[in-house]
Amino acid sequence: MKISVVHAGLFKLDGGAMFGVVPKKMWGKIIESDENNMVTWATRSILIEHGDRKILVDTGIGNKQDDKFRSHFEPHGDMDLMGSLLESKIHPEEITDVFLTHLHFDHVGGAVYIDEKGRFKNTFPNATYWSNEKQWNWAMKPNMRERASFLKENFVPLKESGKLQFIDVQKDPVQWMDKLSVRFTYGHTEAMMILHAETERGPLVFCADLLPSIHHIGLPYVMSYDIRPLDSLKEKEDLAFGALEGQWNLFLEHDANNEVCTVKKNDRGRIIIDKVFNW
């Protein structure tokens, strides 16, 4: 199994929203914000090459949104999804599967593009796209908190193309493919999928928005975007103890500077970041 990091660009989100009840007096010491309280985050994906499959995990924001949208989230950076893939000598037609952790715009936006005739087209024409029925139904009838995050032009065309399939949601982890399993979480959004990969370098866990950055390892650091923050607390705790006991490598999708981390216990018995490194 070969895993490559795919950089899909940078964007900005409000620092207060990203750190929830933690005041800026505290989070401002660990990460910089601009004059509008906006903090820069990554949209970082991975490419898994395993057997005859080339699996892309999440797709970033994409580039089809209008100027008003861009003014809110300020997408920027030298790298985008397609450029990063081409740098790895991977063409869109070669991708066999696209695993979507959930259907928020910063995770699924690059799955669909608009062609020269104004039609919505799958970015990866030969790929099967993977979500689950609970998340799909949730996204199709969004609540007020998430309505701005579920943009139907990002995912409805996938189903209309016949290329969307659902992974069966279960309480326990589901074996999806060889050496790839899925765990479902409910704090951030309904049935977000956390992908576990068994690699030659040890287990790699694609944390999605359960642990968006190293700065969120502290349990109270829960995003205001989460629909069930108390569930997020428990799920983060389970992730941290699992990572400690299983020596998991935790892949950080939104950390602008750090790709992967491991954890350890400090002298007070708290789980903290141990090592930070690039995959």
Structure tokens at 96: 């066999």
- For residue 68, give the 3-state DSSP assignment: helix
Sorted by where each begins, the domain ranges of the chain are 2-277
pLDDT of residue 37: 96
Q: Which residues pair with 99 in a beta bridge?
A: 57, 130
Kindly write down the DSSP assignment for every residue of 165-196, as one continuous string.
Answer: EEPPP-SS-EEEETTEEEEEE-SSSTTEEEEE
**pLDDT per residue as tens digits for the range 99-149:** 999 999 999 999 999 999 999 999 999 999 999 999 999 999 999 999 999
First to last CA, the chain: 13
Considering the segment(s) 2-277 as one domain, its CATH architecture is: 4-Layer Sandwich (3.60)
Q: ∠262-267-270 over CA atoms, to 5°?
A: 55
* Whole-number Å distance between alpha carbons of 262 and 252: 11
pLDDT of residue 2: 96
Judge whether 59 and 16 are in contact, CB under 8 Å.
Answer: no
Least confident of 51-60, 63-72, 101-110, 220-229: 63-72
Kindly write down the DSSP assignment for every residue of 113-165, as one continuous string.
Answer: EE-TTS-EEESSTTPEEEE-HHHHHHHHS--TTTTTT--GGGTHHHHHTT-EE
pLDDT of residue 79: 87
Report the percent of the chain where pLDDT is more than 70: 100
Task: Round the average pLDDT of the chain to a whole number and report it.
Answer: 96
Taking 90 as the threshold, does the pLDDT of residue 191 lie above it? yes
Strand 97-99 relative to strand 53-57: parallel, antiparallel, unpaired?
A: parallel
Residue 57: pLDDT band (50, 70, 90) is very high
**pLDDT per residue as tens digits for the range 201-252:** 999 999 999 999 999 999 899 999 999 999 999 999 999 999 999 999 999 9
Assessment of whether the complete model's pTM goes beyond 0.85: yes
Structure tokens at 70: 């861009």
